[in-house]
Amino acid sequence: MSWSLRLAGKRQRRAVRLCLASALLVVALLALAPALLPPSLALPLLLGNPLKERRFVGADACPACFGVSWCRRFSAGQLVLDSWHRLRFLDFVNVKQVYFGHYDDPREGRKAVVLKRLGSASELAALDRDICQDAAIGSGGGGGGSDAATPCHPALAMLHWEPFHQAMLGGGSHSGPRQEQHLSPNDEHRPGQNLIHNPVQNKIEQLAQLEQRQQQRQQHLLNQNLIQVQQAGPPLPPQQQQQQQQQAVVPRLLTPAMVAGWSDMVRCPSQRLLDRVVRRYAEARDSGSVLLSHLHEGERAQLLLTLRFNPEPLVLQSFPADEGWPFPKYHGACGRLVVEALVGPTLWELWDAPWQRRADLAAQLLDLASQLSDNDLDYALYPLDVTPDNFAVGERDGRVVLVDAENVLVVDKRALRQEKPDGWDKWYESGSEDGDDVGGAGGGPNLVAMDSSPPDGACEGCLSFSRDALCTRAHHDHNFYAVCRSLLSPRSLWRGRRGGLLHSAPRAVASTGRLVRLVERCADPRGRPGLGAGERPGERRVQAARELRAYLAELLAGNNEGDGKWEEPVVPFG
């Protein structure tokens, strides 16, 4: 028995033991729950539907949430969690707060869905603290606010969250020190004082404070001449004047100056992109307009919070699956849970599928990279967190889809051609600059650059890229680089395994050496033999990716003819 087979056997036995231990733990907890908890808690814990609880889904945090379009389905019990996701006492192991379930619709039948909180519990708690600190009325997380003893609910403080406040003033994101909140001299309570007398009275006082600050914000906009009051003609009735002022204090459009740099989606946004985001915002009651004034204040708050905290829902709405984009279908949201279509197994779960299927998946990944780089809409979408866990394969159609769109940088190439920044029309080759950012799994920075990583390449999910170069170049090879380097190359590393998606190639394929040469040229074209002297950096990787795609199509077509050559023993890839 070969070493690789023995290693595979050990991993399989380890996985079986882990599954058995997990099953025993669940059985034990199910058995002990009725004895340890009162019936009023044990029964809902085991059999209840937590998706009907406003607090569990985070609907009580609105407008500091991601939307409310599906709240009726939640409260009606149309959505149900599957298997162990129903067991609330196991939430501690679900760090990413991703749940699998289904919903029943009288017309559409049963649909499998995935529900996401778009962040870990600690990230959401930090968001609440940030919101409450900006409102200067305490801490939503129980600490870190202006007064740790003062309770603050983000639903009350959201309209005074600094990013929302600055955006509604028509300026950019606030990067300087937080401004002190100024209250009226007659205001009884100030930051630092304990506002608690009783829960009801405290909430009333908080609402009064927020209303006062809202009036101050509107007055500030009036003083800045951001609205125009009708000078000629008879004066309007007071009610119409108030309505006109309320509409006028809202900026007409969501502009790049308001949100640039908030997240990867709007790292360098154009007005055309932001108009598309607002027009297609699915959480608005009356979508279809690019005007912010057509959104209710709560909808504007939800839109901006989503854009800053985790823009994945907005990526899915702006580039929907129904129009052929390689993302899951966005269904809706309730509170701090968004609902997306469940695609199927992840790419990692198919890492050891038959080689013919993996070759087809590799070809699809190259097609996906091409579509996101060049399309009729002239948007370039650059995924920055490219790992086998972030792609899934459709159960029915076998289509590869990017299921984690949090770290997708969107560039408007049409705007680049109009603005013409320095070097905008020059090809850029990823991984070739010392100043590139280095991203690892999860989208966070990795301390080891790929170009200076250890000789064995032990850097999981690492990519080197320059966000500035992505934003300022119309021709970029990043998507092909990410697919070839992180998913296909024999040097790729994920969860301790090397070899890439095309590992263990059939002997008839591997013996020619052509496959590995093309993959390595795509992953790192510098210094590879067979490159034309006149080829431009970046362009040569794209050419290698095209040749690799054509070769995979040739292999797949040849095997479909039934010559049986792929039934021979496999050899290591690379």
Residue 435 reports pLDDT greater than 80: no
468-504 pLDDT, tens digit each: 999 999 999 999 999 999 999 999 989 889 999 999 9
- What is the residue whose two structure tokens read 């993959």? 519
319-358 pLDDT, tens digit each: 999 999 999 999 999 999 999 999 999 999 999 999 999 9
150-184 pLDDT, tens digit each: 578 899 899 888 888 788 765 544 433 333 333 33
Residue 556 reports pLDDT greater than 50: yes
Residue 237 reports pLDDT greater than 80: no
pLDDT band for position 23 (cuts 50, 70, 90): low
pLDDT at 565: 56
pLDDT band for position 525 (cuts 50, 70, 90): confident
74-88, 98-112, 298-312, 559-573, range with the lowest pLDDT: 559-573
**Of the spans 97-101, 271-275, 474-478, 505-509, which averages the highest pLDDT?**
271-275
**Protein fold of 348-571:** Transferase(Phosphotransferase); domain 1 (1.10.510)
pLDDT at 442: 41
The model carries a pTM of: 0.76
Pick 447 or 146 by higher pLDDT: 146
CB-hemisphere CA count at 13 Å for 508?
12
**Of the spans 101-105, 334-338, 490-494, 523-527, which averages the highest pLDDT?**
334-338
Mean pLDDT of the chain: 77
pLDDT at 336: 96
pLDDT band for position 219 (cuts 50, 70, 90): very low
pLDDT at 489: 94
Pick 201 or 305 by higher pLDDT: 305
Residue 231 reports pLDDT greater than 50: no
Residue type present at position 148 = A
Pick 389 or 460 by higher pLDDT: 389
Q: Who contacts 487 (Cβ-Cβ below 8 Å, separation ≥6)? A: 347, 362, 365, 386, 388, 391, 500, 501
Assign 439 to helix, strand or coil.
Answer: strand
Q: Quick one: angle between helices 39-47 and 3-36, nearest 10?
A: 150
pLDDT at 13: 64
**Of the spans 25-39, 205-219, 348-362, which averages the highest pLDDT?**
348-362
- Distance of alpha carbon 11 from alpha carbon 58, whole angstroms: 39
* Ranges in the chain annotated CATH 1.10.510: 348-571
Nearest to 538 by CA among 491, 476, 482: 476
pLDDT at 169: 66
Over residues 52-57, mean pLDDT:
92
pLDDT band for position 537 (cuts 50, 70, 90): low
- Distance of alpha carbon 351 from alpha carbon 62, whole angstroms: 41
Please measure the distance between the N-terminal and C-terminal CA atoms of the chain and give it in whole angstroms. Answer: 22
DSSP 76-144: TT-EEE-GGGG-GGGGGG-TT-EEEEEEEETTTEEEEEEEE-SS-HHHHHHHHHHHHHHHTS-BTTSSS
- Distance of alpha carbon 88 from alpha carbon 82, whole angstroms: 12
Residue type present at position 118 = L
The continuous run of DSSP H or E covering 408 comes out as strand 408-412
Phi, psi (rounded to 5 degrees) for 226: -85, -5
